[in-house]
Amino acid sequence: MEKLLVHGGSRLKGTVTISGSKNSSLPIMAATLLTREKCVIRKVPDLSDTNYMVRILATLGADVERASGNVITSAENVSHQAPYDLVRKMRASVCVLGPLVGRLRQALVSLPGGCVIGDRPIDLHLRGLEALGARVEVKGGDVSVHAAEGLRGAEVNMRGKHGSTVLGTGNIMMAAVLAKGQTIIEGAAVEPEVSDLAAFLNAMGAKVQGAGTRTIVIEGVDELGGAEHVVIPDRIEAGTFLVAGALAGDDVTLENVCSSHMGELINFLRQSGHPVNELPGDRLHISSGQDVRGNDLVTGPYPEFATDMQAQVCALCATTPGISVVTETVFPQRFMHVPELNRMGANIRMEDSTAIIRGVERLSAAPVMASDLRASAALVVAGLAAEGTTEVNRLYHIDRGYENIDDKLHRIGARVERVSQ
């Protein structure tokens, strides 16, 4: 098992190149199952999650190869049964359901387990597939979906009590593109990753309109062809480095970003007193604000404040003078980072799914335990400005969603070391 030693105190300076989006790459890789022809997906980050998806596609029978940031697939003959031992390791595997049912009229995928950020149901995915005419059976931890006559277009709603489902919207889009007739998805997720998936599906010959709005209209086609696609920048990785720059940055530039995908975070940082500047050529610049103050935020489905940025912002607010109130509405339990930040001297009190953060002068290093992808990133960010060397254990959590995070941190002057335990 590896851990990251984060030596606090260095001021960050330099340019970091943001990778392609993990949360866009995963459904797009699954969508390649919809055609026998060759697909080339560019700027797929080299992460354990995307590597899991490569293995799942290969185990399903596709020819898959990775070459310098590209994933090249040819899914000529695929099985309908996703491998349990791989699927159970990554919730996002559920997004092979839609393409498998769309193309093969059947799928057998194991139910994703819960995880530390909360229960991860897929009821909205399954209800959507039933609306398209599939028969869904959950048995022995597996989801079995059949549509012997093929799927038929229908009106489906992807909104749950915590907002619209991102992967659910993607799954139903991927199932509907080969269905007979028209599908209308109401209450669709409007995340940029949904729009990116729709762009890829349309490049394959699908007829998807309205992605990025709450209503997506899909006209089913008989078959799809191969396509090439460049994945959008990872707005959460970019946000994580932006927060690092706010916390400990003298002069940090991010390149390969899409700042229009990061509106709520940029507004939050500016309102807190951190100068964020949008530069030409898809770049952002940030340095620590000189006169910063506590600020409040409530997470929500896009375009509201991203739940995936909540932990990192808690790390920033831990040493921001004044009181900050952070409320989580998407995954109400997503506060595994709070006890670890408090071990580092933060003053965070929980009230249900709200963190009341009283800024302290400085955090102090401590051995801390990573628990999920974004909480781990928050602990690394907190360590950058803490007194001493913070030891972030269970580094595999970070490697799921951040490509070469140590190299990127080194490039902007952070003193971090990856060591084996």
Known catalytic residue at 95: no
What CA–CA distance (Å, rounded) separates 213 from 18? 26
Q: How far apart, in whole angstroms, are the C-alpha atoms of residue 324 and residue 266? A: 16
CB of 290 to ligand EPZ, least distance (A): 32
Please give the Cα distance from 11 to 76 (Å, whole number).
51
Residue 72 vs residues 27, 75, 103, 245: alpha-carbon distances, Å: 15, 10, 19, 35
Query: In angstroms, what is the minimal distance from the CB of 48 to ligand EPZ?
Result: 12
Size of the residue set binding ligand EPZ (CB under 6 A): 26
Measured CA to CA, the distance from residue 307 to residue 239 in angstroms comes to 12
Instruction: State the minimum distance, in angstroms, from the CB of residue 153 to ligand EPZ.
Output: 20
CB of 292 to ligand EPZ, least distance (A): 26
Among 382, 401, 408, 409, binds ligand EPZ (CB under 6 A): 401
Pull the structure tokens for residue 327: 């409320």
Rule CB under 6 A: is residue 162 a binding residue for ligand EPZ?
A: yes
> Binding of ligand EPZ at residue 156 (CB under 6 A)?
no
Contact between 26 and ligand EPZ by CB under 6 A: the answer reads: yes
For ligand EPZ, give the closer residue by CB, 100 or 386: 100
Considering only 39-47, 117-125, 199-207, 386-394, which stretch makes contact with ligand EPZ by CB under 6 A?
117-125
Would you call the peptide bond into 99 cis, given omega within 30 degrees of 0 as the criterion?
Answer: no
Q: Is 308 in the site for ligand EPZ (CB under 6 A)?
A: yes
If one asks whether residue 273 binds ligand EPZ (CB under 6 A), the answer comes out as no
Q: Does residue number 52 form part of the binding site for ligand EPZ (CB under 6 A)?
A: no
Part of the chain binding ligand EPZ (CB under 6 A), chosen from 160-168, 213-221, 319-327, 385-393: 160-168
Could you say whether residue 121 binds ligand EPZ (CB under 6 A)? yes
Among positions 73, 256, 272, 307, the unique one binding ligand EPZ when judged by CB under 6 A: 307
Report H helices in 277-328.
310-317
* 167 versus 204: smaller Cβ distance to ligand EPZ: 167
Question: 45 near 19, Cβ under 8 Å?
Answer: yes
Nearest distance, CB of residue 11 and ligand EPZ, angstroms? 28
Catalytic residue among 115, 258, 314, 317: 115
Give the residue with the Cβ less far from ligand EPZ, 176 or 330. Answer: 330
Q: Is 337 in the site for ligand EPZ (CB under 6 A)?
A: no
By CB under 6 A, tell whether 23 contacts ligand EPZ: yes
Beta strand extents in 161-264 (DSSP E only): 163-164, 182-186, 207-209, 216-219, 228-230, 249-255
Indicate whether 47 belongs to the interface with ligand EPZ (CB under 6 A): no
User: Residue 280, SS3?
Assistant: coil
- Name the residue nearer to ligand EPZ (CB basis): 77 or 260: 260
What x/- string results for residues 122 through 141 when contact with ligand EPZ is judged by CB under 6 A? xxxx----------------
Residue environment code for 374-407, b if the CB has 16+ CB neighbours within 10 A, otherwise e:
bbbbbbbbbbbbbeebbbbbbbebbbbbbbebbe
Contacts of 162 (CB under 8 A, 6+ apart): 301, 329, 330, 331, 332
Question: Quick check: 335 binds ligand EPZ (CB under 6 A)?
Answer: no
Neighbours of 114 (CB within 10 A): 12
- Give the x-and-dash track for 86-105 against ligand EPZ (CB under 6 A): -----xx-------------
User: At a CB cut-off of 8 Å and minimum separation 6, what does 94 contact?
Assistant: 87, 109, 112, 122, 125, 167, 171
The answer to whether 233 contacts ligand EPZ (rule: CB under 6 A) is no
Among 6, 232, 266, 373, binds ligand EPZ (CB under 6 A): 373
Q: Are β-strands 70-74 and 297-298 bridged in parallel, bridged antiparallel, or unpaired?
A: unpaired
Asked if 300 interacts with ligand EPZ (CB under 6 A), we say no
Cα–Cα distance, 257 to 242 (Å, whole number): 11
Would you count residue 186 as binding ligand EPZ (CB under 6 A)? no
Q: What is the C-alpha to C-alpha distance for residues 175 and 188, in angstroms, rounded to an integer?
A: 14
- Nearer of residues 226 and 401 to ligand EPZ, judged by Cβ: 401
What is the rounded CA–CA span in Å between residue 347 and residue 344?
Answer: 9
Please report how the helices 97-104 and 166-176 are oriented relative to each other, as an axis angle in degrees rounded to 10: 10
CA-to-CA dists, residue 25 to 45, 91, 194, 280, angstroms: 8, 14, 11, 25
Residues forming contacts to ligand EPZ in the complex (CB under 6 A) are 23, 26, 91-92, 119-125, 160, 162-163, 165-168, 193, 307-308, 330-331, 373-374, 401
Residues tagged active-site: 115
